[in-house]
């Protein structure tokens, strides 16, 4: 087993991550009646909109302050304020997120001051605008995502009366997965505030009336009340304290924090339900017990096929952790584990289980796809699990890809991929097993012929 990174290299060859403001947009799209403006040159917002649109198949409106040369030299304050005016005229949002870019940060824009001045000058609520510093060179979209959630909570949460709901803070997962978490919470009869909730905003049902800001998202009033919750469950064990909204609520308002992995796989889902039970005193309903039983049944049915799998798992840290542990539970060995983030926690968290897995593995931090590809060859990987970018491994090395995570832009339905809870885990494992079986069926006759007949 080893941990490597690519720090000694000077080129990132086919990126395994996106930039900070991308994560910020995703987080803000999960807040009710919210609009986003990117403070920077015009391209950033357009590229990110395009990427998000392809994954969710939804319109994704994001404004830009469209900084030009003049704004870059003399400061973009006027541009940004005008942009805020304009987007309010067209979208009438209840909440606005300003995200910065490489450009705005490098020229030293003080967006916090500009934002405050703006609401004062226009006589608007102090709570209307949140500003988040998200320079492209400051981290990946994962860090941008969590930082933005923390800033939103810091902006809106106010001292409030205690109540019996719990906060659930989630990483970047599919709308289908968000809906599954909500279903589980409802089945357990638990009141919750889930942040951010883009299960409707980025996966809206067709309706005759078009809304510029789609319905749904975490209500602002709920975010304000997060400070009075019974507890926070943050599905973010790899998240640094400085980026954690749960940590903020614990430090500022004394809301007990439970940091859990995504409920994927038996152990993680059990832990999720057990923790919910401990916090609220609610038991696991029969429906979920049956689903657990079915998952176990399917795991047994597939275990020998799964044993054939040696996989590469890549992407955002929370998902990589959950997928890796789920694979280990099922005898699919994650030989290459990779993320574009610089994240110390992921390796430490996985080390014990991977070592027990008894085989060699590599953990790649801050990596790119050229490096992942190299390691896949060395580690004899026969399955890749992650976003559409992994199609590069299929094309170049013939390694089949099971798509999960963000972005899925070369197939439809990225927003509908379900992988959480007992049901989601079962769906995920079926996709894995069937990919292994397809591969087997395509090759076994010819490979046995070559091995034993031709010799």
Partner 1 sequence: MLDLAIEERKDFVYTKSKQRKALKCDTDSISGAVSQRACVYCGARVVLNPITDAVHLVHGSIGCASYTWDIRGSLSSGSELYRNSFSTDLKEQDVIFGGEKKLTKAIEELVQKYRPRLVFVYSTCVVGVIGDDLEAVCRAMAAKHNIEIIPVQSSGFVGNKSMGYRAACDSLLRLIEPRRGQKIVKRKNCLNLMGDFNLAGETWIIKEYLNRMGLALNVAFTGDAKYETLKTATQASLNIVQCAGSMMYLAKKFEEKYGTPFLRVSFVGIEDTVESLRRIAKAINDQEVYEKTEELIAVEMEKTIPVIQEYGKALQGKKAAVYVGGGFKAISLIKQFKELGIEVVMIGTQTGGPEDYAAINDLVEEGTVILDDANPAEIERFTLEKGAHLLVGGVKERPLAYKLGLAFIDHNHDRKHPLCGFDGAVNFAREVYSTVCSPVWKYV
> Which of positions 327-346 make contact with partner 1 (CB under 8 A)?
340
Q: How far is the CB of 61 from partner 1 (least distance, A)?
A: 5
Q: How far apart, in whole angstroms, are the C-alpha atoms of residue 425 and residue 357?
A: 20
3-state secondary structure 100-165: ECHHHHHCCCCHHHHHHHHHHHCCCCCCCEEEECCCHHHCEHHHHHHHHHHHHHHHHCCCCCCCCC
Place of tokens 């038996």: 266
* CB nearer partner 1, residue 246 or residue 340: 340
Q: How far is the CB of 317 from partner 1 (least distance, A)?
A: 16
Return all residues near 146 (Cβ < 8 A) that are at least 6 apart: 23, 27, 171, 236, 239, 240, 243, 244, 245
* CB nearer partner 1, residue 87 or residue 132: 87
Q: How far apart, in whole angstroms, are the C-alpha atoms of residue 405 and residue 412?
A: 13
Segment 134 to 153, residues that bind partner 1, using CB under 8 A: 135-138, 140
Q: How far apart, in whole angstroms, are the C-alpha atoms of residue 97 and residue 354?
A: 40
Residue selected from 25, 26, 31, 41 as contacting partner 1 according to rule CB under 8 A: 41
Size of the site for partner 1 (CB under 8 A): 73
Q: How far is the CB of 395 from partner 1 (least distance, A)?
A: 9
Beta bridge partners of 338: 314, 364
* CB nearer partner 1, residue 133 or residue 196: 133
398 binding partner 1? (CB under 8 A): no
152: closest CA among 196, 114, 94?
196
How is residue 250 written in tokens?
């614990």
Q: Which stretch binds partner 1 (CB under 8 A): 84-92, 161-169, 292-300, 413-421?
A: 84-92
Phi and psi torsions of 419, nearest 5°: -140, -5
68 binding partner 1? (CB under 8 A): yes
Residue selected from 29, 33, 51, 403 as contacting partner 1 according to rule CB under 8 A: 51
Site string for partner 1, 196-235 (x = CB under 8 A): --------x-x-x-x-x-----------------------
Contact 169, 235 (CB under 8 A): yes
Q: How far is the CB of 53 from partner 1 (least distance, A)?
A: 5
* CB nearer partner 1, residue 77 or residue 197: 77
Q: How far apart, in whole angstroms, are the C-alpha atoms of residue 287 and residue 174?
A: 23
128: closest CA among 161, 152, 103, 145?
152
How is residue 342 written in tokens?
């610089």
Segment 175 to 194, residues that bind partner 1, using CB under 8 A: none
Residue selected from 25, 27, 28, 37 as contacting partner 1 according to rule CB under 8 A: 37
Radius of gyration of the chain (CA): 23
Q: How far is the CB of 137 from partner 1 (least distance, A)?
A: 4
Residue selected from 250, 291, 329, 389 as contacting partner 1 according to rule CB under 8 A: 389
Q: Which stretch binds partner 1 (CB under 8 A): 48-56, 169-177, 191-199, 297-305?
A: 48-56
* CB nearer partner 1, residue 132 or residue 328: 132
Segment 88 to 117, residues that bind partner 1, using CB under 8 A: 89-91, 101-103, 106-107
Return all residues near 61 (Cβ < 8 A) that are at least 6 apart: 35, 49, 91, 212, 213
Q: Which stretch binds partner 1 (CB under 8 A): 4-12, 145-153, 186-194, 258-266?
A: 4-12
63: closest CA among 94, 78, 85, 31?
85
140: closest CA among 294, 320, 20?
20
* CB nearer partner 1, residue 102 or residue 157: 102
Residue selected from 65, 142, 238, 269 as contacting partner 1 according to rule CB under 8 A: 65
Q: Which stretch binds partner 1 (CB under 8 A): 34-42, 329-337, 344-352, 424-432?
A: 34-42
Q: How far apart, in whole angstroms, are the C-alpha atoms of residue 329 and residue 299?
A: 9
Q: How far is the CB of 78 from partner 1 (least distance, A)?
A: 9
* CB nearer partner 1, residue 35 or residue 184: 35
13 binding partner 1? (CB under 8 A): yes
* CB nearer partner 1, residue 48 or residue 418: 48
């Amino acid at each position: 087993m080893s941990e490597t990174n690519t720090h000694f290299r000077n080129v990132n060859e086919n990126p395994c991550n996106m930039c900070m403001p991308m994560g910020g947009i995703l987080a803000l799209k999960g807040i009710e009646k919210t609009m986003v403006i990117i403070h920077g040159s015009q391209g950033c917002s357009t590229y990110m909109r395009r990427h998000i649109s392809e994954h969710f198949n939804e319109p994704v409106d994001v404004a830009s302050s469209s900084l030009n040369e003049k704004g870059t030299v003399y400061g973009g304050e006027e541009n940004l304020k005008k942009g805020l005016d304009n987007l309010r005229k067209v979208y009438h949002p209840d909440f606005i997120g300003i995200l910065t870019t490489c450009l705005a940060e490098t020229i030293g824009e003080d967006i916090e001051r500009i934002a405050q001045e703006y609401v004062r000058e226009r006589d608007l609520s102090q709570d209307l605008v949140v500003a988040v510093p998200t320079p492209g060179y400051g981290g990946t979209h994962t860090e941008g995502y969590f930082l933005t959630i923390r800033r939103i909570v810091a902006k809106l949460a106010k001292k409030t009366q205690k109540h019996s709901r719990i906060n659930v803070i989630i990483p970047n997962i599919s709308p289908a997965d968000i809906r599954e978490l909500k279903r589980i919470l409802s089945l357990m009869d638990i009141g919750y505030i889930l942040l951010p909730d883009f299960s409707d905003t980025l996966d809206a049902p067709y309706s005759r009336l078009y809304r510029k800001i789609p319905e749904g998202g975490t209500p602002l009033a709920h975010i304000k009340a997060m400070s009075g919750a019974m507890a926070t469950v943050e599905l973010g064990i790899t998240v640094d304290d400085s980026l954690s909204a749960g940590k903020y609520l614990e430090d500022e308002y004394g809301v007990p924090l439970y940091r859990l992995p995504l409920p994927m796989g038996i152990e993680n889902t059990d832990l999720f339900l057990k923790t919910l039970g401990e916090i609220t005193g609610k038991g696991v309903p029969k429906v979920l017990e049956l689903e657990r039983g079915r998952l176990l049944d399917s795991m047994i049915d597939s275990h020998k096929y799964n044993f054939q799998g040696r996989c590469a798992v890549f992407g955002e840290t929370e998902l990589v952790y959950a997928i890796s542990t789920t694979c280990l539970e099922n005898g699919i060995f994650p030989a290459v584990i990779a993320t574009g983030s610089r994240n110390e926690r992921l390796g430490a968290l996985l080390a014990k289980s991977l070592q027990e897995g008894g085989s060699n593995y590599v953990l790649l931090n801050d990596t790119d796809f050229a490096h992942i590809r190299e390691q896949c060859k060395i580690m004899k990987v026969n399955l890749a699990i992650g976003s559409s970018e992994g199609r590069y491994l299929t094309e170049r090395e013939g390694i089949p890809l099971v798509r999960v995570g963000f972005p899925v832009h070369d197939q439809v339905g990225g927003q509908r991929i379900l992988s959480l809870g007992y049901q989601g885990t079962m769906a995920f494992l079926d996709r894995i097993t069937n990919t292994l079986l397809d591969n087997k069926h395509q090759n076994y006759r010819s490979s046995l012929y070559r091995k034993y007949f031709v010799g």
